[in-house]
Each structure stands twice: as structure tokens, then as C-alpha cells.
Structure 1
Amino acid sequence: MKKLLTKIIPRIYGKYFNLLVVFDTKRTAQKAFNTFCKIRKGRVTEQQKPFLEAAKKEVEAAAGHQIQVYEWQGSKPTVMLVHGWESNSFRWRNLIKKLQEADFHIIAFDAPGHGYSTGHQLYVPLYSECLQALIEKHQPQFLVGHSVGGMTLLYNDFKNQNEFIQKIVTIGSPSEFHEIMTHYQGFLRFNDKVLNALDAFIQSKFDMRIKDFSSSKFVATNTKKGLLFHDRLDLIAPYHASEQVHQNWKGSQLVSTEGLGHSMHQEEVNNQIIQFLEA
């Protein structure tokens, strides 16, 4: 029954958008965007609490949200960790252990609508606004992002180009927003009129068309050093995303794996991150 509902409910949304767009394109686009950005999981679980509670720092105001920040002290430069969609800072536990052993100073935070932070929606420009506020306060030299967190790092660097940041690491990150929107359209089965309305809405809100929101384009002017991890069999973010980013980012290295999945918590990945940051 649950599997059946999982298939039916998205199609109901799609049919609703297809009908509504006939009468009101702007309202349809707003609703389709809100549905896309809605967070359905990623809050802190009972299992995750002990690890996160021990590292809680302040709650910081950013982009109209209260953002929970975590800190692990170290004498080496600051590394800022940026998690992915429907996750939270607990996902970094394995890497944090390695970073602590190497004596890095570590800052992590929960995105809007995730972990202990406020909100119910997330999209890259909002995530970037929160990220930039925390970057300005904590002045990290290194950034590490997973999935949409990595996409946010590259978008943020394109918008802000903080000179004190030296290296950026992305793990299993998507690149092309139009691919994400095509998947969204296919999942809900809404028509091209709805998609065109969404495109116009996004352009009016962010001054950027869907096709132009692209990590591979953002990195064309990136002068920092980058390390890109991506598994060839990643079922969430396609492997070619990091290939495209690597091709356009002169200072980047691409580490291709097979069978490590999307999350990539493995020790071999974390060890390579440490080596890259220490080099």
C-alpha cells in the first residue's frame, strides 16, 4: 500500500499542476517550486543526538533562519563541512574523526529545514546565503560539501569568490540544474507548460534560467584548488556531473570510484581528503 501511494501521490501533484497552469501560470510555478524545495526528512534522530549535542556551538541568524552550528577545536586551519539534501551534520562523523586526528579546526552546520535549524524548504541560493554568512564569520580555508552541499559550494564561490578559501572538496555532487528539473518533471509527470512557468519563476527570483544554473559553468572562473569525488555507479547524482565540472575547473582533480555509492563515508575517501587538505 505504501509503495502504491508513493507512486500515486506525485502523479496527483502533476495532474494538479497541469490543470492549474491553464488558469494561473505564476501560482502554478510558485506551488511547483515550493513542492520541489520541501524538506521531508533530515531532522536529528535519537541516535544522532549524542554526537551532535557534544559539539553544539551557537545558533546563528542567516537568511531569515536560525542555523545550528557545530565546532570541534583544532590548531590547524578551519575546515567547514556542508551536508547534502535531507541530511544533517551527523553525516560527517567519520570525516570529523579523521580531521580531529589531523588536528584541524572544524565547523559544520545544519542547512535550513535540516537537523536543528529552522525552516521547511531548501534550495541552493538559500543554502548559499547561509553558507556565506558563516564563511564570513568563521573564515575557513577549506570547504567540503556532499551532494547538493557541494553544488552550493561551487555556486557560492561563483557568486562571492572569498579569497581566503584555498581548497574546495565536493563529494557526489550534481552539476546541471536542468537535469534535476527534468527528473522532477518526469517524477510528477507535469507538462512543458508547467516547466516553462517554473523556468520563468526561477529567472524572476534568482536572475538565472534553469539551463544556466550549472556547476560546470560556475567553475570556469574558479582559481582555487579542487578535489572531486564521484562514484561511477552513483544512483542519486550522475557521475558525468563531476566529469563536466572537472573539465571546466583547471585547478581540480577528479577521483573516480566504483561501488562506494552516493554517500561515500569510506575511510579511503576520508584519507584522501585529509591528504589533499594537508598538501
Structure 2
Amino acid sequence: MLKSFLNKAVPKLYGFYFNLISLFSQEKAGKKALHVFSHPRAGKIQPFQNEFLNTARKQKLITEEGFVQLYHWKGQGKTILLIHGWESNSWRWKYLIDPLRELDYNIISIDAPAHGASSGTDFTAVKYSREIKKVIELYQPEIIIAHSVGAMATIYQESQHPHDFIEKIILLGGPDRFDKIMNGYQKLTGFNNKVYQAIDDLLLKTYGFHISEFNSADFVQDINAQVLLIHSKQDAIVSYESMPSIASRLKNASTYTSKTGGHSLHTPEVVDQILAFL
């Protein structure tokens, strides 16, 4: 009961803190709120995860902002790039990597910035997209499989820097609109509209877009690859309605509603659908 109370109380304390700061400086309140939002609390590699990750060849890709950890399970088939979501790491793909290795796919997985064994403390979909671009151009995968905000970052990356050699993309539990995510953050913490506006101003200044303009359904219009979207109506993190929203704007899309898996979507049912699509 105490843990449940703290889990509910801590976000509200953050909101109170942001609102208090906004009385003196709206810009500073926005920076503080975005800082908390962009810092994952989990996702670093746990000791029990190392045994599986050590079966891969590891490589550090040096970037302007640090380094990204890569894992490579070599195979003779087509190259698949795996892109995880928020507060996760490459271990989350174990359920899928094992059957893909049996089919001799060449598998690359990355840890996002501030996740797994990658460097950094802050994370945004835009920052992630820049790292994804570097890995795509290094390994030239024919197939990309991405989960949650990793799906959003992948879509944004391909809208900015399309790669014709990508044949198939699988998006698992991917969100469509960033404003839905930010509205959820506002509801969770209770910060006021002045703080929300300050975050919006900061994103426009830093990345060149308003919160309402970052929409996966808009970014997918020019993607030519075959795309499979998988989502579950039991997803408590990302609305199921995101799937038809994104699919409706794609040139070549198919969808599957999973009866299992919730948001994580790592169940035998989902694996079967992925393998059938490949």
C-alpha cells in the first residue's frame, strides 16, 4: 500500500514543483519538466540479462553525443535491425532473437541513448532517430522491427532520411501523436498549461516543431516498404487507436490485433505473426 501511494504521490510532487517554478520563470519550469520527462528511470542492463547479451558480438558506435551499444548475432540471411522502446534495452528482444537465429537471419540490436549499455542520461525520440539513422547506414538492414517509442523514432527517421534498401518494417505498439504522450504526462503530474506551453516553446526552439506537429501518422506517408503494425486492445500504455491512425496513411500496410502481450507484445502469438510476415 505504501509503495502504491508513493508511486501516485511522487509524480504529483513533480507537478507541484514545476507549477511553483512557473510562478517565477515559465521557461525554467518548462526546462525542468522536459528534463524529468526525458530521463528514463529504468532500462539499464540487469545482471540476469548479461548472459544472453554476451552471446552477441558487441560493438560501440561512437557518435557526437557519446556512444551507442550494438549487438550482432551473425547470420547468412537478410539483416534485421531491432529497435526497443522506453526504459528497455536489447534484452527485451530475446523472445524474438532465438527464433530469428534459427532461421539464420543476420541480427543487429541497439541500446537507445541513456538505455542499456549506451551512454547518456537523456532521451528523446528525435535523438534516438539520429542514432537509428547511423546504424541503418552502417548495416543497411532490409528489415526493421521496432517497439513503442522506438517505432515512433523509426518512422520519424525514415520520414527525414528514407532508405530504399529497407524492404519491410514491423511496428509493435507504436504511438501516433506526441501530444497524446505529453497530455498523459501532464495528467500524471498535474502541471499547469503555462508549463505545457513552456515545453512546447522549448521543443520548437530545440527541434523545430510544436508538440502537436510530431505525429507518426503524418511521417509515414512517404514510406514505400511493406509495413506490419501489431497492437493489442489491452495495451495500457499506448492507445490501440494509434494503429489504424498510422496504418491509414501508409502506402503498403497490414495490421494485426494481438489477443496477448499488452504493450510489451512479446508472446508466441506475436512471434508467429512476425515470422509469417517475414
Cα deviation code 1:226-255 (max 9, x no counterpart)? 000000121111100111001111211111
SS of corresponding position for 2:114: coil
Q: Give the conservation status (yes or no) of the 8 Å contact 1:113–1:119.
A: yes
Q: Please give the alpha-carbon distance, in whole angstroms, between the structure 1 residues aligned to 2:167 and 2:66.
A: 28
For structure 1, which runs of at least 5 residues remain unmatched after alignment? none
SS of corresponding position for 1:66: strand
Code of the aligned partner of 1:48:
Q
For structure 1, which segment, 267-276 or 217-226, has the greater mean C-alpha deviation from structure 2 after superposition? 267-276
For structure 2, which runs of at least 5 residues remain unmatched after alignment? none
Residue 78 of structure 2 corresponds to residue 83 of structure 1 = no
SS of corresponding position for 2:257: strand
Counterpart for residue 203 of structure 2:
202
Counterpart for residue 111 of structure 1:
112
SS of corresponding position for 1:165: coil
Q: Give the conservation status (yes or no) of the 8 Å contact 2:231–2:256.
A: yes
Counterpart for residue 232 of structure 1:
233
Q: Give the conservation status (yes or no) of the 8 Å contact 1:228–1:254.
A: yes
Residue 212 of structure 2 corresponds to residue 178 of structure 1 = no
How far the C-alpha of 1:191 sits from its partner, in A, is 0.7
Code of the aligned partner of 1:71:
H
Q: Please give the alpha-carbon distance, in whole angstroms, between the structure 2 residues aligned to 1:65 and 1:268.
A: 37
Q: Please give the alpha-carbon distance, in whole angstroms, between the structure 2 residues aligned to 1:77 and 1:165.
A: 11
TM-score, length-scaled by structure 1: 0.96
How far the C-alpha of 1:34 sits from its partner, in A, is 0.7
State, as a whole percentage, how many aligned pairs show the same letter.
36
CA RMSD across the alignment: 1.2
Counterpart for residue 35 of structure 1:
36
Q: Give the conservation status (yes or no) of the 8 Å contact 1:202–1:209.
A: yes
Q: Give the conservation status (yes or no) of the 8 Å contact 1:70–1:109.
A: yes
Q: Please give the alpha-carbon distance, in whole angstroms, between the structure 1 residues aligned to 2:58 and 2:261.
A: 32
Pairs within 5 Å for 1:99-138: 99-138=100-139
Cα deviation code 1:93-142 (max 9, x no counterpart)? 11111111111100001111111111122110010011111111111111
For structure 1, which segment, 55-64 or 181-190, has the greater mean C-alpha deviation from structure 2 after superposition? 55-64
Counterpart for residue 192 of structure 1:
193
Q: Give the conservation status (yes or no) of the 8 Å contact 1:62–1:129.
A: no
SS of corresponding position for 2:235: coil
How far the C-alpha of 1:269 sits from its partner, in A, is 1.4
TM-score, length-scaled by structure 2: 0.96
Code of the aligned partner of 1:224:
A
Cα deviation code 1:32-62 (max 9, x no counterpart)? 1110011111111111111001214211112
Q: Please give the alpha-carbon distance, in whole angstroms, between the structure 2 residues aligned to 1:165 and 1:188.
A: 39
Counterpart for residue 3 of structure 1:
4
Code of the aligned partner of 1:237:
V
